[in-house]
A = this chain, B = another copy of it.
Amino acid sequence: MSEITTPASGELETAQGGSERRRRAGGRSAERIRSGSDGTKYRNLVNTIDKTEILSAQTLEDIHDASLTVLEEIGMDVILPEARDRMKAAGAAVTPGSERVRFDRGLIEELITHAPKTFTMHARNPARTVKIGGSNLVFAQVASAPFVADREGGRRAGNRQDFRKLIKLAQHYDIIHTTGGYPVEPIDIHASVRHLDCLSDLVKLTDKVFHCYSLGKQRNLDALEIARIGRGISMEQMETEPSLFTVINSSSPLRLDGPMLQGIIEMSSRNQVVIMTPFTLAGAMAPVTIAGALVQQNAEALCGIAFTQMVRKGAPVMYGGFTSNVDMKTGAPAFGTPEYMKAVIAGGQLARRYGIPYRTSNTNAANTLDAQAAYESAMSLWALTQGGGNFILHSAGWTEGGLTASFEKFILDVDMLQMVAEFLTPLDVSPDALALDAVRDVGPGGHYFGTAHTLARYENAFYSPILSDWRNFETWTEAGRPTTYDHANRTYKQALDAYQQPALDPAAEEELDAFVANRKSEGGVPTDF
């Protein structure tokens, strides 16, 4: 009896023995042709699967009721006199000499009924216009990271060159429906004029919908004008066609800061899109229980949404959820966790209860593109897909809890988003797909390589990933054992090479350049530095 023998297991599935083993070994030996986006496969996504619910009808009402109690009995601090005046006029109880405002539950419930269930955000390229709400699913790029990273350059402060590269990537990949703000904060542009340069880039380098920061009235006004110029329409038309969106964060717990309130006023009054997103990390800015954090999220979101409707009934607004947990041993924020999944799914139930489009995010807290980055993101995608997210900010490129926009992570996310899109594509169960004739032709013991049924379909039969390395171990070893990170690094540079700047009407470009030059000559927006 020899000590070393060959495997005796006959199980195809398990020991990969016999013909199957040889077949796959051969199959994996050839170099794959990798495919990304060629810019021609753009499609708007719908998510028609039944949404997962983790709250019962009763516990959904319990969270709703508790959040209205918060607004009624505790209230919010509203750090803008004009906003408090508008709230008082709408029927809220403003405590004299203080910033505290309390809201009758009936007032909130009435106001939010005016928010539209669905609306359209218009891009300068009509083919990139997106529908928000209902079954629609829109992916927006990473936003607002202070740092940017790739393998060669390491982790570095945001700058305009990287900003522009990331915008180009968002344009290049069809699965990215909109940008999401500045993918990275370009701190080499002075804050007084940063919005002018960045918004100009957003108009020129992409033809997709974009975001403006609510950092004071003048920046909102400049952004509105730039969006209008980009679309080549009048401000009157833009008021009927929302073309710009802003994210409004509450300063949790229970506070709305001045620039955020001002942003709601400027955007909602002009029928532009507000995404009202509390940032409620359970155990830090919100109660340590996910249910409690959801109560606070819901209170803050409903308050901001109600305020948009005080400003203008029917103004487009999204219910933003951003509840996750912190690591209670250190206070570090955690993302893509089981708790995040539950919060995302429960948030979807709340948004659907109100009939308001739901914004959530593709999150992770990894420091590099390792397995953690992938599983935290994949679990985020699981929750937001099953939970019915309509608008997914930070869809691609967000890493390190939002501190860094990663070029490689951007590609990983694009690949995963494309997989989600493919998963959501209804299964073809036509008689032809059921393939009875093919089964009959092949019969017991045969194989389907090279059959007519296979040959007619093989090129587009399955999703072809950008990054997955399915070569066999030996071939992969000969190739230097590249990881997903290696493939992503190569791919993002190829995508930048393949980027094509979308056409912009020369008159619009001229008008845009003149507007930016003029506003710069005026000093942009005053800063204290």
Contacts and interface: CB of A to CB of B under 8 A. Distances in A.
A287 interface: yes
A270 interface: no
Interface residues of A, number: 185
B468 A334 contact: yes
Contacts of A461: 282-283, 288-289, 325, 328
Contact of A449 (B2, B182, B331, B332): B331
Interface in A1-29: 1-17, 20-21, 23-24, 26-29
B295 A458 contact: no
A82 interface: no
A419 interface: yes
Interface stretch (A125-133, A165-173, A339-347, A494-502): A339-347
A489 to B, nearest CB: 12
A221 interface: no
Contact of A32 (B13, B53, B329): B329
Interface string A442-457: 1111111100011001
A72 B467 CA distance: 43
Please indicate which of the listed interface residues A62, A436, A449, A469 has the most CB atoms of chain B within 10 Å of its own CB: A436
A75 to B, nearest CB: 7
B1 A279 contact: no
A80 interface: no
A371 B485 contact: yes
The 9 closest A-B pairs by CB, nearest first: A14-B144, A292-B435, A27-B331, A378-B378, A374-B374, A287-B435, A8-B191, A371-B484, A338-B422
26 contacts: A1-B190, A4-B188, A6-B187, A9-B182, A13-B322, A14-B145, A15-B146, A16-B146, A28-B331, A54-B426, A55-B427, A70-B439, A74-B444, A75-B444, A255-B445, A284-B447, A289-B461, A295-B435, A327-B464, A331-B449, A337-B465, A368-B483, A372-B374, A372-B484, A378-B379, A404-B473
